[in-house]
Amino acid sequence: MAKKKKNRGRYKKFCRWVAGVIAIMALVGALLLFTNRGKRLTEQFRELFVGAYMPSGEVYGIDVSHFQENIRWDKVGKIGYHPLTSRLSKNKGTSYKEIKFAIAKATEGSNGKYDDEYYEKNYQAIRKSGMKLGAYHVLTPGGKFEEQARQFIKKCKLQKGDIRPILDVEADISLKGDDLKKAVKMWIEIVEKYYGCKPIIYTSTVLYNKAFDNEEFGGYDFWIAQYYNPVLAVKAAIWQFTSRGEIDGINGKVDLNVLPNGEKTLEHLLIP
DSSP string, 23-57: HHHHHHHHHHHHSHHHHHHHHHHHHHHH--B----
| pLDDT the model gives residue 35 | 47
| pLDDT the model gives residue 44 | 54
Among the listed residues 147, 170, 189, 192, the single catalytic one is: 170
69 occurs within a structural domain: yes
85 occurs within a structural domain: yes
44 occurs within a structural domain: no
Q: How far apart are CA 241 and CA 86, in angstroms?
A: 13
Q: How many domains does the chain have?
A: 2
pLDDT, tens digit, 9 for 90 and up, residues 44-96: 555 555 567 889 899 999 999 999 999 999 999 999 988 877 888 876 668 99
Residues in the chain with pLDDT values less than 50: 2-3, 28, 30-39
| pLDDT the model gives residue 39 | 45
Phi, psi of 62, rounded to the nearest 5 degrees: -125, 160
40 occurs within a structural domain: no
Domain at 140, CATH number: 3.20.20.80
170 labelled catalytic: yes
| pLDDT the model gives residue 31 | 47
Q: In this structure, are strands 254-258 and 222-225 parallel, antiparallel, or unpaired?
A: unpaired
- Are 17 and 112 members of one domain? no
- Are 28 and 146 members of one domain? no
The angle at the Cα of 239, spanning 177 to 106, to the nearest 5 degrees, equals 70
User: What residue numbers bound the domain in which 170 lies?
Assistant: 54-268
- Are 143 and 260 members of one domain? yes
